[in-house]
Structure 1
Amino acid sequence: AAGGGGRGVWGCSRRCRAPPGVSLSSAPPQPVIAAKEPFPVELEAGKKYAWCSCGHSKRQPFCDGSHKTAAPTMSPLRFTPEEDGTAWLCGCKRTRSPPYCDGTH
């Protein structure tokens, strides 16, 4: 393995410890990448939508409730567009402008 001595990729054995005051189990959950490209969708002004932020939904880019079992600490982003039109919703779930794609993928 990289790092030598039977250690993992980062040269760390199973006895690695988090820095003082940091719990590895308290790290924020990371979403699953649903797609490495945005989803073009037609949105209606005034209609409420729930964008999947966990990546587990089978109805991408919208939430189907999968987070309740697959990622219970995550929740969808609810939004209401002000205008009708095509929007490019993020598929990689790493955008800094959710729910819209910012090219991060």
Structure 2
Amino acid sequence: MMKMKTAKNAPYPVEVIKGQAYYWCTCGLSENQPFCDSSHQRTDMTPLEFIATETMTVYFCGCKQSANAPLCDGTHFSL
């Protein structure tokens, strides 16, 4: 199994819209971070669906190590 690649050592703030689905890149290879661009197809990983429960700014994990994926939990501070 491939290990996730750290895309950025900080979160990605994104304004999400209530009810909309977002597909968070789990592999770290996407050129469209923090979202999937199908780069994972050369791995055994798949994107993680996030459905916004309200319209607001959320912080998607950039290091790909969050225990609260797809959202940042501050893990990047310890890497």
CA distance in 2, matches of 1:41, 1:79: 12
2:70 is aligned to: 99
SS of the aligned residue for 1:87 comes to: strand
Alignment of 1:1-105 (within 5 A): 28-69=1-42, 71=43, 73-105=44-76
SS of the aligned residue for 1:40 comes to: strand
1:13-64 Cα distance to aligned partner (Å, 9 max, x none):
xxxxxxxxxxxxxxx4210000000000000010011000000000000000
Higher strand fraction: Structure 1 or Structure 2? 2
CA-based RMSD of the aligned residues comes to 0.7
CA distance in 2, matches of 1:94, 1:82: 23
Gaps of 5+ in 1: 1-27
CA distance in 1, matches of 2:55, 2:35: 17
SS of the aligned residue for 1:79 comes to: strand
SS of the aligned residue for 1:29 comes to: coil
Aligned length: 76
Runs of 4+ in 1 over 4 A off after TM superposition: none
CA distance in 2, matches of 1:76, 1:86: 20
Offset, 1:101: 0.2
The higher relative CO (CA closer than 8 Å, separation ≥ 6) is in 2
Identity percentage over the alignment? 46
Larger Rg: 1
